Amino acid sequence: MATKKSLKSRLQDGEKLLGHFLLSFSPELAEIAARAGFDFIVVYLEHGAGGIPKKALDLGPDGIMFPMVETGRSASEAVSFCLYRPDGVRGCAYSVVRDSSFGFNEGYLGNYADKLFIMCQIESEEGMKNVKEIIAVDGMDCVMMGPRDLSASLGLLNDPGNPKVKSVMRVAETAVLASDPANGGAYLAGMATAQDKTGDLKARGYHVVLGSTDVSLYKKAVVDEVNAFKA
C-alpha cells in the first residue's frame, strides 16, 4: 500500500497546495472536496463547535492552525500544545488515540512530530509587527495571513482590500518569504478574498492557499437556484 505524503513533506518537495475551509463538519462535504482535488481541508473550529489542540491532534490530522497569534511567546505556547514532554505540554495518552493508530504504530513517539504541520495565523496589527519573532519560533512551520481581522484591528472593519491593510500585509508577506523553511523559517499561507484570488496569492509566492468555504459555496448554490426558479 502506498504511503500518503504529509502536507509538510509535500511542501518540502516544493509543491504549492490549495485547501478548503470546512465549517459544517459534514463528512460528505469533506469527501466531495477531497475528490474534487483540494490538497487539504481545514476543519474550522474557531467559529464552530469548540475544541482544544490535544483533542484535535489525537484524531491524527497532518496539522493544526492556531488563530490570532500576536507574539513569539504565544507562538511558542501554541507549539508546546502540540508536542509531548519534554518538548511541550501535550497530554501523553498516545497509545489510545487515532493518531498512533490506537497504539499499533509502535514507532509513533519517535516520529509523530515529523509530519506535524503547525500553522499560526496572524490577523492583527500587533501580529504583523511581530511576524519575524513568530517566524523564528522553533517548531512553527507556517504563517497564515488573516486580512479580514487585520482590517478590523486597523479600524477598517470588513475592508480587507483597503490600501492600508494591503500595505501592512505586504510587509509581513515579504518577511515570511525571505525566511527559509528548511532552516528555521516558515511557509506562507493565505485565504483568498475578492481582492486577492487564489491565483494572485500563488503568483506572490504563497505556498499554501485556502480558496473557499463549504458554507459560502453552498450559500451561493442555493441562492442561485432559488433566484433562477423565482425569476
3-class state of residue 90 by DSSP: strand
List, in sequence order, the alpha helices (H) in the chain: 7-12, 27-36, 53-58, 72-82, 108-115, 125-129, 131-135, 147-153, 163-178, 198-203, 214-230
Where residue 174 falls (left for φ over 0; alpha for ψ -120 to 50; beta otherwise) is: alpha
Note whether 53 and 69 are within 8 A (CB).
Answer: no
Average pLDDT over residues 23-35: 93
- DSSP state letter for 2: P
Cα 5 from Cα 170, distance rounded (Å): 31
3-class state of residue 210 by DSSP: strand
pLDDT attached to residue 55: 86
Q: What would the pLDDT profile of 159-217 be if each residue is shown by its tens digit?
A: 999 999 999 999 999 999 999 999 999 999 999 999 899 999 999 999 999 999 999 99
Average pLDDT over residues 58-79: 96
Which domains does the chain possess?
A: 7-223 (3.20.20.60)
List, in sequence order, the alpha helices (H) in 13-160: 27-36, 53-58, 72-82, 108-115, 125-129, 131-135, 147-153
Using pLDDT thresholds of 50, 70 and 90, give the confidence band for residue 50. very low
